[in-house]
Amino acid sequence: MNTHLSVRITVHGRLSERLTAAFDGMAPVRRPGATELVGEVADQAQLHGLLSRIRDLGLELESLTVLDADATTEHEEIST
């Protein structure tokens, strides 16, 4: 069984290349006023690690979206 989750994590502001490098494996998508980090996580433990890194870097989490396997349809969104 494949337990990987495709996720989109949106943080406030435009992240620098240095900050996006802290999220290895996640593709940055820069939007006006926000940066989306899109990619796969192996399990909930890895997802919690990414969220902890966001907190530790002092970034403001805007939303977390779990995507369908094809990463085109939103499954669940958690906004802060």
**What pLDDT, on the 0 to 100 scale, is given for residue 75?**
47
The predicted structure's pLDDT at residue 4? 86
For residue 44, give the CATH number of its domain: 3.30.70.260
Quick check: is 12 in a domain? yes
Domain tally for the chain? 1
For residue 49, give Cα distances in angstroms to 12, 53, 55, 73.
18, 6, 10, 24
76 within some domain = no
Q: Is residue 75 part of a domain?
A: no
Quick one: pLDDT at residue 70? 54
Mean pLDDT by 10 residues, the chain (80 residues): 84 95 94 96 94 97 86 50
User: In this structure, is residue 73 part of a structural domain?
Assistant: no
In a domain, 58, yes or no: yes
pLDDT at 23: 95
Q: How far is CA 55 from CA 4, 59, 72, in A?
A: 23, 6, 27
Q: Could you tell me if residue 72 is inside a domain?
A: no
In this prediction the pTM is: 0.80
> Could you tell me how many residues make up the chain?
80
Q: Whole domain around residue 27: which residue ranges? A: 5-67
Domain annotation covers residue 79: no
Residue 78 lies in a domain: no
